[in-house]
Amino acid sequence: MKKDFLCLTDWSIEELEGLFALAADLKARQKRGEQHHLLGGKTLGMVFEKSSTRTRISFEVGMYQLGGHALFLSSGTTQMGRGEPIKDTARVMSRYVDGIMIRTFSQQGVEELARWSSIPVINGLTDMYHPCQVMADLLTVIEHKKNYREQIYCWIGDGNNMANSWINAAVMFGFELRVATPRGYEPHPVVVERARQRGARIVYTNDPLEAARGADILNTDVWASMGQEEEQAKRVTAFNGFQINDKVIAAAASDCILMHCLPAHRGEEITDEAIESRHSVVFDEAENRLHIQKAIMATLMA
């Protein structure tokens, strides 16, 4: 039976930790220069309705390193961009390729694609969730902290797809999470309610310093995501005080690590000094997109 990677909570904790272990093994093998062609002869169809740097490069390079091939498909140059039903696209692609990665707006659209596809579908990002990124983030924490499940995590900024994904991660792994957002920019209420029902240890606040106090991991993202560019000026005003800077870092644990999924708007949600500080692991985090996604693809497609 085929399996998809659409949302963290669709998987068991044992399966997710298996991805961490496989990613660490594949990373070590790559660093040693060992071939690991687990997907020899396989092809991944990559559907992009949102532009990308890290997602495209990491999936395409990852498939190459696994011995397979990745095919870039922009919605603007395919029939999806001209109104072909998702269920038709799904069934046709299932006859051509061995897996699909899609980076798009609607989580519902990704789920429909997976429902009609007979091959694995990977959520490369939607407006609701970014599961590959949060798995890369957690792999980075595992590399820098002894026990990632005993750390205190802090999210400061927009209640966006990354905030939703961190809430799902807190549900799955049981760690303490503090989420600080301006009023009116809280995470999705459905995600919040599901986490509450499952007893997740999450504190929601409108005070960034309260959230950061004693935290082991500080995390943020841009204030205006793709598709929200017209709100940029409004959001800069609304998010005043929600920047990760020296004051916020000083409130956190002395050995805290600082994360950002990139791209960063330096001087807005994070200062240049913070992202270049000894606490920053943002480029380890970016690299780990490659390794965790290789593990996801190998697990689903091998």
Q: CATH number of the domain that 52 lies in?
A: 3.40.50.1370
* Residue 103 in marked binding region: yes
pLDDT, mean over the chain? 96
Q: Do 75 and 215 share a domain, yes or no?
A: no
For residue 180, tell me if it sits in a domain: yes
pLDDT digits (tens, 9 = 90+) for 270-282: 999 999 999 999 9
pLDDT of residue 78: 75
Q: Do 293 and 261 share a domain, yes or no?
A: no
- Residue 186, domain extent: 132-285
Percentage of the chain beyond pLDDT 90 is: 92
* Residue 126 in marked binding region: no
For residue 193, tell me if it sits in a domain: yes
Q: Do 173 and 261 share a domain, yes or no?
A: yes
* Residue 131 in marked binding region: yes
pLDDT at 226 over 80: no
Q: Do 137 and 277 share a domain, yes or no?
A: yes
pLDDT of residue 83: 80
* Residue 80 in marked binding region: no
pLDDT at 62 over 90: yes
Q: Do 255 and 112 share a domain, yes or no?
A: no
For residue 2, tell me if it sits in a domain: no
Q: Residue 66 has which token pair?
A: 């696994």
For residue 239, tell me if it sits in a domain: yes
* Residue 7 in marked binding region: no
Look at 81-85, 96-100, 194-198 and tell me which has the smallest mean pLDDT: 81-85
pLDDT of residue 81: 63
Higher pLDDT, 76 or 276: 276
Q: How far is CA 253 from CA 7, 39, 163, 218, 244, in A?
A: 30, 42, 21, 10, 14
Domain total for the chain? 2
pLDDT at 241 over 80: yes
Phi then psi for 205, rounded to 5 degrees? -150, 165
pLDDT bracket for residue 183 (50, 70, 90): very high
CB atoms within 10 A of CB 246: 11
pLDDT at 76 over 90: no
Residues with a known catalytic role: 103, 130, 133, 221, 261, 289
